[in-house]
Amino acid sequence: MKGINFVNLREAGDPVELGREYSRQGADELVFLDITASYEERKTFTELVSRIAANINIPFTVGGGINEIEDVERLLVAGADKISINSSALLHPQLIENIATHFGSQVCVVAIDAREDDKDWFCYLKGGRERTEKKLFEWAYEAQERGAGEILFTSMNHDGVKNGYANEALARLSNKLSIPIIASGGAGKKEHFADVFLKGKADAALAASVFHFGEIPIPELKSYLCSRNITVRI
């Protein structure tokens, strides 16, 4: 069964209404990333998470500003089912173990932003602003071994280009890892979703703008994937 996940950035409109709408349309999971969360904004953010959770009936992943166990607990209590960590995991890999031990691996999604340059994939910090020396495949494997339950991989080369997902890198990840891979970055048309499942071997595909601007209605996308013999929830 392949999942269609909707990612909802804070700037994309009223998150509560959008979450409810995509949950109704048949999105399989909602991912809410708050890329601007500062210390002062945490309380508002937590309240927002709670309001979204109260209004949707599908699994709900929340990321942004998670640095310690207390942050995870706060968001789970607010109604998140999973949390997504990115820069904080790269800087403090031990955080993955801590989360897995406290709440179980199924709670811990490790998000990786990576860019392919010089024929290798490098992981980036802070929403893609700072390059590290960590390589995608090694880091994803390490995250799995430390207890990550899922990997959310965004290809910075493909993100925003709407020309398809990073299927080659995704298939390599899928072969190397034994945990589910969520593909992110590059969705532009329905065929891209079929490709990411068939060629990229992804377990779920995440998209924002093609859903948000109504370019691809979720029910239509799911009927199309069914016609390509890909199992999706209708």
Partner 1 sequence: MQTKRKLHDSQATNIAIVRYKMNVVIIKYNAGNIRSVDFALKRLGVNAQITDSAEQIQGADKVIFPGVGEAGSTMQFLRQTGMDKLLKSLHQPFLGICLGMQLMCHSSEEGGTDCLGMFDENVKRFVPQVHADKVPHMGWNQLENLKGKLFRDIKAGEFVYFVHSFYVPVCDFTAASTQYIVPFSAALEKDNFYATQFHPEKSGSVGETILKNFLEL
User: Residue numbers of the site for partner 1 (CB under 8 A)?
Assistant: 1, 3, 23-26, 28, 53-55, 57-59, 76-79, 81, 103-106, 149-150, 175, 178-180, 203-204, 217, 219, 233-234
If the CB atoms of residues 50 and 132 are measured against partner 1, the closer one turns out to be 50
Residue with tokens 């995991």: 89
Tell me the closest approach of the beta carbon of residue 187 to partner 1, in angstroms: 19
**DSSP letter, residue 200:** S
Tell me the closest approach of the beta carbon of residue 77 to partner 1, in angstroms: 6
Task: Name the nearest CA neighbour of 61 among 2, 3, 131, 122.
Answer: 3
Give the separation between CA 214 and CA 211, rounded to whole angstroms.
5
Tell me the closest approach of the beta carbon of residue 151 to partner 1, in angstroms: 12
Q: How many CB atoms lie within 10 A of CB 103?
A: 17
Helix (H, G, I), strand (E, B), or coil: what is residue 173? helix
What's the CA angle centered on 223, arms 164 and 8, to 5 degrees?
Answer: 55
If the CB atoms of residues 105 and 132 are measured against partner 1, the closer one turns out to be 105
If the CB atoms of residues 81 and 97 are measured against partner 1, the closer one turns out to be 81
If the CB atoms of residues 150 and 195 are measured against partner 1, the closer one turns out to be 150
Tell me the closest approach of the beta carbon of residue 129 to partner 1, in angstroms: 31
Give the separation between CA 179 and CA 208, rounded to whole angstroms.
23
Tell me the closest approach of the beta carbon of residue 62 to partner 1, in angstroms: 13
If the CB atoms of residues 156 and 218 are measured against partner 1, the closer one turns out to be 218
What would the two tokens of residue 13 be? 């409109």
- DSSP symbols for 17-29: HHHHHHHHHT-SE
